[in-house]
Chain A
Amino acid sequence: MATRQVIVAAATVESQKVNRRRRQSKSPLMGLLLPAILLLLWWLGAVTGVLDVAFFSTPSAVLRTLGNLIFSGALIFDFWSSLQRILTGAAIGFGAGLVLGGITGYVRQVERVLDPTIQALRAVPAIAWIPFLILTLGIDNAPKIALIAIAIFFITYVNTFSGVRSVDQKLIELAQAYRLSRSLVLRHVIMPAALPQIFVGLRLAAAIGWIAAVFSEILVGNNGLGELLNDGRSQGRPDQTIALMIVLALAGKCSDNLIRLLERHSTPWRATFEGV
């Protein structure tokens, strides 16, 4: 029987590997299909005059502008400015959301005290914080970082909280039956169980981080991608705004991919449906 089980288990592992390989080898090309079609339609539209180039520009103009922005160093500088803000804001917001969401999820008493206030504050749209942040923190980096941190905090808080609360009661009971210490329960039962949901939060947080950064830079911009976008608008340059939208799309996709990669590496034990 043991031999049979070894073979069966090996076969399972093997089939999972094959599945993964199949998915990995095909998906990048498949994913590029739709952008290629859109690009083609855009180009055709511009060439035939269906799309007004004054508003929609052309693929070649956008590519040229993108090249200019890169080689002049402007894009690198502003990209780095935005990225720094996002990373700083994310570190603050994600860290605070993780700690508070974790504690509130774990300790009912803390939930009763903190959660109503946090939920009420969460109802305030992130955008509505901007006037207050400008009044209190000025128009430099601080209000932008604060906005990113606030937006990310609430998403992380909610997801960490529900991650902690989603721990299987049977596993908690198991820990009680074996008299496991609180630190063991936290490290080996609750935290790993909450991890998948925390990753959901992190992916949403990354997306909202870019949104908050660009939005605050468009409103009060000294530098950053939002400022470049604003320039494009005020100078009537659709090629520049489209080029920056492409940069943002790529940056968002890259950060999401990074998080998914991290997720796959930190939760290799998951046995959930991965799609057909």
Chain B
Amino acid sequence: MGTTLIFEHVSKGFPGCGPVLDNFGVTVPSGSFVSLVGPTACGKSTLLRLILGLDQPDAGQIRFEGDGAGRADVCAIAFQEPRLLPWLTVHDNVGLVLDRRSGDCAGRIKALLDLVGLAEFRDAFPKVLSGGMAQRASLARALANEPDVLLLDEPFSAVDALTRMRLQDALIRIYMARPQTTIMVTHDIDEALFTSQQVIVLSTRPAHIVDIVDVKAGYPRDRTDSNLFSMKARILRGLGVVALDHQDGDGI
């Protein structure tokens, strides 16, 4: 059941900016919700790109173990920007990635749009959607083929605080209904603590793991939980660079 993701000695660099990942290794157990936090440009998004196969590691490998191993559509991603195709309606944007062999496509799209609360906007073009709505459509698309591994690249960073909380609630609801292996990159430590079972704290480039914080609290969580707050302090200490990071304009 599910798919486990194993990073083995993964290294990756880009011409002109040196090594981004150096001998990176971690195992993301099947069905777990893991967040990656770290300073800006430390290689978090590169990790997701490597998982998707958009980039290839210079050394090491990323292994999939379990049901999804070898399947082309084992992963799905919601990018930082919604990346909806402007010429397709919400319905067709979700339908585009849907596996045609999966049978009742229309029913599946309807269920997905109901899930993210966009049923009324099925025929709307992306230009009329608000940022939060577009991000929900992107999430529906990511969930379309019931991926074994769901990747989220700062999916809620561009929406206002209130909408972000609602989207986080929706994400937890979706995860509880079908707990797939989920890896979320985020800058928002509160978001990581609210949603994840494990928070992996990364260093500046080349990224290595500074700390792994296990969050034992069950879902749904209380945002005002004092335990979460003490973990936040630990993560901030682990980051160490937070103050410096903010000087660079991170989080603005």
Contact = CB atoms under 8 A, between A and B. Distances in A.
A180 B99 CA distance: 10
B85 interface: yes
Contacts, number: 64
B86 A9 contact: no
Interface in B124-178: 124-130, 133, 163, 166
Interface stretch (B20-28, B36-44, B76-84, B199-207): B76-84
A1 B88 contact: no
A255 B54 CA distance: 45
A188 B117 CA distance: 25
Contact of A192 (B72, B87, B129): B87
A211 interface: no
Given A177-B54, A178-B76, A269 B83 contact: no
Given A1-B166, A269-B126, A9 B121 contact: yes
Contact of A184 (B76, B96, B120, B163): B96
A9 B77 CA distance: 26
A6 interface: yes
Given A174-B83, A269-B87, A180 B130 contact: no
A189 B121 contact: no
B120 A269 contact: no
Contacts of B76: 177-178
A8 B79 CA distance: 25
Given A1-B166, A9-B124, A177 B85 contact: no
A255 to B, nearest CB: 25
B125 A177 contact: no
B52 interface: yes
A268 interface: yes
Interface residues of B, number: 30
B97 interface: yes
Contacts of A13: 128
Contact of A188 (B75, B79, B96): B96
Contacts of A2: 117, 120
Nearest to B145: A178
A170 interface: yes
Interface residues of A, number: 28
B191 interface: no
B86 A189 contact: no
A170 B166 contact: no
Contact of B85 (A5, A189, A268): A189
Contacts of A219: none
Interface string B92-126: 00001100000000000000000001001100111
Contacts of A270: 86, 127
A179 interface: yes
B133 to A, nearest CB: 6
Nearest to A2: B117
A180 to B, nearest CB: 7
Given A2-B117, A13-B128, A269-B125, A177 B86 contact: no
A109 interface: no
B41 to A, nearest CB: 18
Interface of B: 52-54, 72-73, 75-77, 79, 81, 83, 85-88, 96-97, 117, 120-121, 124-130, 133, 163, 166
Nearest 7 pairs of A and B residues by beta carbon: A271-B127, A192-B87, A269-B125, A178-B97, A269-B87, A174-B83, A179-B72
22 contacts: A1-B166, A9-B124, A9-B129, A12-B128, A170-B81, A171-B83, A171-B85, A174-B79, A176-B54, A177-B76, A178-B76, A178-B96, A178-B97, A179-B73, A188-B85, A188-B87, A188-B88, A189-B85, A192-B87, A269-B86, A269-B127, A271-B125
